[in-house]
């Protein structure tokens, strides 16, 4: 009898409007959460093409500084000042090598040998933008891992090699080649081998592990102390206007792409946040539509509900059909939303793969957990609202 009563007075148009509105809101929320989960690793991953909120800072090299011979290095006081800025969350230093480096490829026995002078730098592991699983060194190790800037390889492949008729080199091929190094300092000389383990898109320098750099500086040039000429700074809000003001006041510079990359990542987060808010607002309005529909249905049936209560039905039994209706509609909305998100994901994931060949799709768990949380929240609120309405009729009947 209760279910016949419910179906007889059910406003299909109102419920269809609820389903459509709630479907739009739920889909927007889940799609925004899943899109953020899928795309943020491209910006923040260990091998990302953009490290948001991170910039390389150096002192401006002026003509006066050049003529006076004053090195553009940072003192401990200046580093501490940068670290204590309100927009800075972490600071790392580029540790320079205090010894000369000669790198040799090939062998005299084979009749092909190339040598060149170069340099090393090191940064703390936390600031590396490559996979650090192979980025370790101990004193007993026979090889030292090297990270080269990716643009070095690009300059060779698309500039030097093409003009000289030489073959282009892939990253995997370069990583297979052993390089012999001769290190010379005031306290001695050391020979060792190295291997390129990764190519950095962010850090434009030749990197070795911090432990190796500290050991070699101490061993080969114990009388000198390394003074960093560059800082790698993590900022909490890349678009903060105080950053540009601070750089200008202290004559500091950042590498060209750093600020733009940080602003882009920050803008992406803002857009995703706006989309999430819009989706939540639509979901809230859809919930209100459903609640209004249920209230109107209850209002139309107030007399019959009162009759049902008089003949012995409990308030829980009277409210049960309405609870089942809302649970069914919310379940339908959740399932359809997940299906739509899967379809959207199937469209944009291949595009991510084309832009970022090593991209690996994230889990669908964040969207599913968000959907289940919204489902439980809306269902609970519906349950409470319906129960209160039926109980109010019950209390009127008692009085």
From the list 258, 325, 320, 255, the residue with the least C-alpha distance to 7 is: 325
- Residue 8 above 80 pLDDT? no
From the list 51, 4, 16, the residue with the least C-alpha distance to 263 is: 51
pLDDT computed for residue 213 by the predictor = 92
In order, the DSSP letters of 287-330 are HHHHHHHHHHHHHHTHHHHHHHHHTT--HHHHHHHHHHHHHHHH
pLDDT computed for residue 81 by the predictor = 92
Residue 54, SS3 per DSSP: strand
The rounded distance, in Å, linking the Cα atoms of 291 and 215 is 69
pLDDT computed for residue 217 by the predictor = 92
Confidence of residue 239 (pLDDT cuts 50, 70, 90): low
Q: What is the mean pLDDT of residues 335-343?
A: 91
pLDDT computed for residue 46 by the predictor = 47
Lowest-pLDDT range, 94-98, 112-116, 378-382?
Answer: 112-116
Average pLDDT along the chain:
77
From the list 366, 271, 343, 329, the residue with the least C-alpha distance to 30 is: 366
Confidence of residue 305 (pLDDT cuts 50, 70, 90): low
- Residue 7 above 90 pLDDT? no
CB 379 within 8 A of CB 324: no
- Residue 339 above 90 pLDDT? yes
Percentage of residues of the chain with pLDDT beyond 90: 11
CB 338 within 8 A of CB 375: no
Percentage of residues of the chain with pLDDT beyond 70: 71
Confidence of residue 161 (pLDDT cuts 50, 70, 90): confident
Within the chain, strands assigned E span 54-59, 88-93, 95-96, 100-107, 112-118, 121-122, 143-149, 178-185, 188-200, 230-235, 252-254
- Residue 193 above 70 pLDDT? yes
Confidence of residue 218 (pLDDT cuts 50, 70, 90): very high
Place of tokens 């010379």: 184
């Amino acid at each position: 009898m209760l279910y016949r009563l419910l179906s007889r007075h059910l406003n299909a148009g109102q419920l269809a409007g609820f389903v459509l509105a709630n479907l739009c809101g739920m889909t927007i929320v889940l799609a925004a959460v899943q899109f953020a989960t899928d795309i943020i690793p491209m910006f923040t991953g260990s091998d990302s093409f953009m490290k948001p909120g991170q910039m390389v800072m150096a002192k401006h090299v002026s003509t006066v500084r050049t003529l006076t011979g004053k090195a553009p290095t940072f003192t401990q006081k200046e580093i501490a000042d940068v670290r204590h800025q309100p927009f800075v969350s972490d600071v790392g230093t580029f540790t320079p090598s205090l010894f000369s480096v000669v790198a040799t490829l090939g062998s005299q026995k084979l009749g092909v040998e190339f040598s060149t002078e170069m340099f090393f730098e090191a940064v703390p592991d936390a600031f590396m933008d490559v996979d650090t699983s192979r980025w370790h060194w101990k004193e007993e190790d026979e090889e030292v891992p090297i990270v080269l800037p990716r643009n070095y390889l690009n300059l060779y492949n698309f500039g030097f090699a093409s003009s000289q008729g030489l073959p282009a080199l892939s990253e995997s091929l370069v990583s297979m080649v052993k390089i012999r190094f001769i290190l010379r300092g005031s306290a001695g000389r050391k020979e060792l081998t190295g291997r390129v383990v990764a190519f950095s898109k962010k850090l434009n320098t030749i990197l070795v592990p911090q432990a190796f750099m500290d050991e070699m500086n101490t061993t080969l040039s114990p009388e000198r102390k390394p003074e960093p000429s560059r800082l790698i700074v993590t900022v909490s809000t890349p678009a903060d206007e105080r950053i540009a003001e601070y750089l200008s006041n202290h004559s500091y510079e950042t590498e060209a792409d750093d600020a733009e990359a940080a602003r882009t990542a920050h803008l992406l987060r803002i857009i995703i946040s706006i989309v999430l808010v819009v989706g939540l607002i639509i979901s809230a309005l859809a919930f209100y539509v459903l609640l209004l529909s249920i209230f109107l249905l209850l209002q139309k049936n107030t007399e019959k509900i009162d009759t049902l209560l008089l003949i012995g039905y409990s308030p829980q039994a009277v409210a049960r059909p309405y609870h089942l209706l809302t649970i069914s509609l919310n379940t339908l909305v959740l399932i359809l939303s997940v299906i739509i998100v899967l379809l959207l994901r199937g469209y944009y994931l291949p595009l991510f793969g084309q832009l970022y060949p090593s991209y690996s799709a994230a889990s669908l768990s964040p969207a599913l957990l968000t959907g289940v949380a919204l489902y439980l929240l809306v269902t609970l609120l519906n349950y409470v609202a319906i129960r209160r309405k039926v109980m109010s009729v019950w209390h009127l009947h008692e009085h």
